[in-house]
Structure 1
Amino acid sequence: MARESGDSFLLPMTLAEVSILLFFLLLFVAVSQIREVESEARRSAAEVEKLQNQMSKVKNLSESEIQKAIEGAKKEKKIERLQEKVSNLQREVSGLDSLIQIRERYSDDEFDELVREASRNINRQQKINRLTERLEEAQSALDSTQNVLGDYRAQSINLTRRLREAGQGYPPCWADEEGNPQYIYTVQLLGDSLAVRPNWPNSREGDLKEVDGASTLAGRKVSRGRFAELAGPVLEWSKRQDPECRHFVVIEDSERTTKEEFKDELLLVERFFYKYIER
């Protein structure tokens, strides 16, 4: 029986509606199969009856008639299987009587809308299932990434401790894929001055522009005071990084530099950079 026209028809997205759609689909399929099976059973029964009538009229059967008798026996077996299938389908359909009563509660338009809404719910559920699978895959990848990050943190702590033990408490601002420092300058100690030459890799040309004062210091021969003045912005930039880092330079000696001058200028460079001394 249809609802009154004044009532609003709401279709909440529930599993009950999806179940109703599935029950109706099962009902339609079952009824169709029952009709097909019953039709086949009637045809087979008629053929068997006809063959039995023919066999009763003659006592001596020809080869062809014997063959027909065999075929008839086979059809009887088929009828038995079909009848069993009909019984099974009838039992399944008998459990859908309540579904028919539910159908009577809706008008045709309401029922059509119910079917459409249930179909949409099925599609939504399929999308939810796919999204759930992707979420689980993403969560697994995230867990794996967090494990890797945990390893990196532990390695970083270990590396920092080793650097401090070696007198270098900060990681290099620039490093290659294997973690080796990449140098920004080569600094030649001249005794009364310092010569600064570019020593950065070609791949760091863009990064160099981000380092305050880095381009200004490169390619110059300067006094000790001027070196400290120009290297200061580079050091301050390094301190602002997260994590804090230091640029590395290569140190070159000069034949005219005394040991005392070499020591003084080396200490000056170490105020701003980490060093590698060529031997």
Structure 2
Amino acid sequence: MKIRSHPSFLHLLIMLFVASVQSAHVAAAGGTGPGIYKGSYSSDAPGGDYGAVTIIVDGQGNTACNFHSTPTNDERITVGGMVNSSSSHFALTCANAGISFGGGWMATTDSASIAGQSLSGTWKSVFGPSPPITGTFTATFVSGLSPIDPAAITGLWYQPGMHDGGFNFLFADQGLYVTYMGVTFWAVSFDGKPVGVPLGSPYWLISDVGPQTVLPGTAFSVNVFAPPNPPTTQVGPAQAEPQGSLKIVFFDCKLATATLTGSTFVPSNLSWNLHKLVGAANGPGC
């Protein structure tokens, strides 16, 4: 027996299909667009800066951005931006925390940007040179957010140009453990008298257990602890002291950021832009 589709029924199916495509396009244009976007940037000034762009949008619309200069190898790494999900287009920002301290830069997308497809926009210096330095950038969606291989994260990490210490990231069966080993590199005084931990004192931190999986550009926090007053060579039991928390964002298995807040040893928040120094023996490549 043959079943014939009524013309009006076919028309209805076509209308529903077109409507679904249009709805998906609108959602993509103005949604949060989680995923990884890669491209390039350049300066408006002749002979100005240029380089590679990586922008990661997490599932909540937060952004992690890296504008990596080709001429200088410097990196503008930020994790303070976000997507404006109420905008008619894919509007996001990459904001440098440095703007709070009299300098920095920020980048914003324009109306041609579409979530899950491509980004374009402008960047400029903020509270810096006058007139500000400006430029443009473009980036293309390259992948969604898949967990980073824990074995590829495990290893020693450091911030180039800083010699205060470094981090050890270790994935165990329970999850990620973070250790920081270094010395204090800040000096705080009030009326000429030292306040807090003296400059050059050992400063060691160890975390409680962190997540079992890590997604690119997606922040997580771990509580951290330190031996009291700070560590010494004295033998005997010591009660670990809470030292606030570390907020960590991995871009991939080579680049991450870490921010320490709430430590009694530290005069203010501390942030690191971390690069992987060495991984575990026979570990996977990255």
Give TM-score scaled by structure 1 length.
0.20
- Normalized per residue, the structure richer in helix is 1
Determine which structure has more spread, i.e. the larger CA radius of gyration: 1
- RCO (CA 8 Å, sep 6+): is it higher in 1 or 2? 1
- Normalized per residue, the structure richer in strand is 2
Give TM-score scaled by structure 2 length.
0.19
